[in-house]
Amino acid sequence: MIEIKIIEAVGSFAENKDLSRDIRITKIIPALERNVGVILNFKGIEGATQSFIHALISDVIRRYGAKVLDKISFKECNENVRKIIGMVVEYMQES
Amino acid sequence: MKIYLPNSAFLGNIDSFLRNMNFSDPTQLKITANKKWISIHPVVLCMIGALGLNLKSEDIKCEKLEAKSKHYLNRMGLFKLLNIKTDTTIIEHESAGRFIPLTRITNSDELTKFITDIIPLLHLASEQADSIKYVVSELVRNVLEHSESEQGAIVSAQYYKKSNTIRLGIVDGGVGVKKTISYAHPVKTSLEAIQLALTPGITGTTQMIGGTEYNAGAGLFFIKSIAQVNREFFMIYSGNAMYKLLKSKPDLKQTTLHGDPFQDRHSKGEDYPLWKGTAVGVDISLGKTKEFSMLLDLIRDAYIKTIKERKKEKYHPRFT
C-alpha cells in the first residue's frame, strides 16, 4: 500500500490538472500495475475542482473498471472534496 | 475597431454594449466613453484588453476621458495592459484593494499563483473563496487548454459592496467555442456550439460520454450552475452569439439545474458583432457562498441525469 499526500504536490486548493495527471501517471497507475493499493490523502486540501479529480482518477476507472476502487481509498477528505470525488466516480460508472 | 464605454454596462444590460462594438478595422482600436460616468463590468475591461493586446500601442487611441469615474479604468490596469499613456490618476476608495486588475495568464503555473493571490486581494473569507477559486480555475484552464489564444486569458474581478458580489471577467482572443466544439461535435452556429459547451459531459476533445482522461466537459456547466444557485448572472459570448443566464427566483430548494442551458431562464442572440475568441462574465454573491456544498449535490444530480439521457439517446435501437 502506498500513500500519496495530495497537498505536497498541489497545495491546499487542488485545481492544477497537469499535476493531477502527473500523480496518476507516475504514482497511481504504476502502483496498481504492481497490484499495490493506493491511499490518496487529502489532508489539508481545502477545495478541489471536478477537473482536478477527473484528471486524477477517471482514466484509472475507465482503464481498470470500477472494481479498482477496492484498491484505492480516499483519506481525510472534507465534505466538498468528498462530494466531488463521489460525483466523478458516479459519472464514470454511468459513462 | 471602435469601443464606446457607456455609463453602465453590467451583465444585466450588457447587450447594447456588445451590439455597439465595431470590429470593422482590426488594425486600430479607438476607445470613446460617456462624458459623465463610466461604470462597467470587469468582463468589459477584459474584452477591451484582449482587443488591444493584438495591436501596437500607437494603434490604440483613447479619447481624453471626462467622466468622473475615469480613474477606475486606470485603477483596473487598462492603460497599463494596453501600454498607452493616460492623464487619469488613481483615486483610492474605501473599498480599495477589493479588486483584481486586468491580468494576463498564459500558463498553468501563472494560474496557480493567480488563484493563490486572488483571495487575499479580494479580502475573502475561506468559506467565501471556494466558488471564486473554482470559477477562475475552470474558466482560465478552459482558455489555456482549448482556446488556442496566443495572448492567454485576460482576467479581472471587482467586489461590489452594495450587492455584496464579486464580478468576474475571463476573456480570450482565441478560436472561439464553435471551432473548439467542432473538433468532436458537428455544429453549424456559434449559438449551437455554446449550447453544447454548457451541456454537462460534452467536450470538444471527444464524442465519448464522460470525456477523456483529461477533460470531462463539465467546467462551463459548473460555472453556470454556481451563478444559477447564487441567483446571479452568467454570460458567454463567442463568435456572433451570446447566451446569458438570467437571475432566478430566490429559493434554493426549488432551484433546478438543467443539462440543456436553453431550459434555464435565459436570453440569447446570434446577431452580435463577431468576437473571435470567448468572453465569459459571471457574478457571484458572497452572502450565499455557504451553499457550495448544496450546490455540489444539485450539480451531481443534473450531471448524472444528463449523462444517462445522452447514453439512452446514443444507444437508442432502430426498429424497421
B222 and chain A: CB distance < 8 Å anywhere? yes
Domain spans of chain B, in order of start: 2-314
Better-predicted residue by pLDDT, B242 or B75: B242
Interchain contact, B308 vs A94, CB within 8 Å = yes
Give the pLDDT of residue B289: 52
- CB B11 within 8 Å of CB B233: yes
What are the residues whose beta carbons fall under 8 Å from the beta carbon of A13, sequence distance 6 or more?
A45, A46, A47, A48, B115, B116, B133, B137
B158 bridge partner residues: B99, B167
Q: Say how far apart CA A95 and CA A66 lie, in whole Å.
A: 11
Residue B193 CA neighbour count, 13 Å, CB half:
26
Number of domains in chain A: 1
Rg (CA), chain A: 12
Which grid cell sits at B152? 492567454
Give the pLDDT of residue B23: 95
Helix spans in chain A (H): 6-10, 17-23, 29-33, 50-64, 79-94
Average predicted confidence (pLDDT) for chain A: 95
Using a pLDDT cut of 70, give the percent of chain B over it: 92
User: How many of the other CB atoms lie within 10 Å of CB of B162?
Assistant: 5
User: How many of the other CB atoms lie within 10 Å of CB of B251?
Assistant: 8
Q: Which residues of A touch B311 (CB under 8 A)?
A: 94-95
- The predicted model gives B305-312 an average pLDDT of 82
The answer regarding whether domain B2-314 maps to CATH 3.40.350.10 reads: no
pLDDT for residue B135 is more than 90:
yes
- Identify the band that residue B95 occupies on the pLDDT scale cut at 50, 70 and 90: very low
B244 bridge partner residues: B235, B267
For A84, the closest of B108, B296, B304 (CB atoms) is B296
pLDDT for residue B248 is more than 70:
yes
pTM reported for the whole predicted model: 0.92
Q: Which residues of B touch A51 (CB under 8 A)?
A: 137-138, 141, 215-216, 218-219
- pLDDT tens track for B10-58: 999 999 999 999 999 999 999 999 999 999 999 999 999 999 998 999 9
Q: Which residues of B touch A62 (CB under 8 A)?
A: 210, 213
- Identify the band that residue B287 occupies on the pLDDT scale cut at 50, 70 and 90: confident
CA distance B15 to chain A (A): 31
- The predicted model gives B182-198 an average pLDDT of 94
A78 and chain B: CB distance < 8 Å anywhere? no
Alpha-carbon dihedral sign for residues B216, B220, B221, B226: positive
On whether ipTM exceeds 0.85, the answer is yes
Average predicted confidence (pLDDT) for chain B: 88
Which grid cell sits at B252? 434554493
Residue numbers of the domain that contains A36: 2-94
For A87, the closest of B108, B215, B296 (CB atoms) is B296
Q: Say how far apart CA B202 and CA B181 lie, in whole Å.
A: 9
For B130, the closest of A24, A54, A80 (CB atoms) is A80
Better-predicted residue by pLDDT, B294 or B220: B220
Better-predicted residue by pLDDT, B204 or B220: B220
- What string of DSSP letters covers B83-116? T----------TTTTSEEEEEEE-SHHHHHHHHH
Query: What residues of chain B, 108 to 147, have a C-beta less than 8 Å from chain A?
Result: 108, 111-112, 115-116, 126, 129-130, 133-134, 137-138, 141
Q: Say how far apart CA B51 and CA B1 lie, in whole Å.
A: 9
User: How many of the other CB atoms lie within 10 Å of CB of A63?
Assistant: 11
Q: For residues B295, B298, B303 and B305, what is the CA-based torsion angle, rounded to 10 degrees?
A: 180
- Residue B20: enclosing H or E segment and its boundaries? helix B14-20
Interchain contact, B213 vs A88, CB within 8 Å = no
Interchain contact, B219 vs A51, CB within 8 Å = yes
A18-22, A90-94, B14-18, B272-276: the lowest-pLDDT one = A90-94
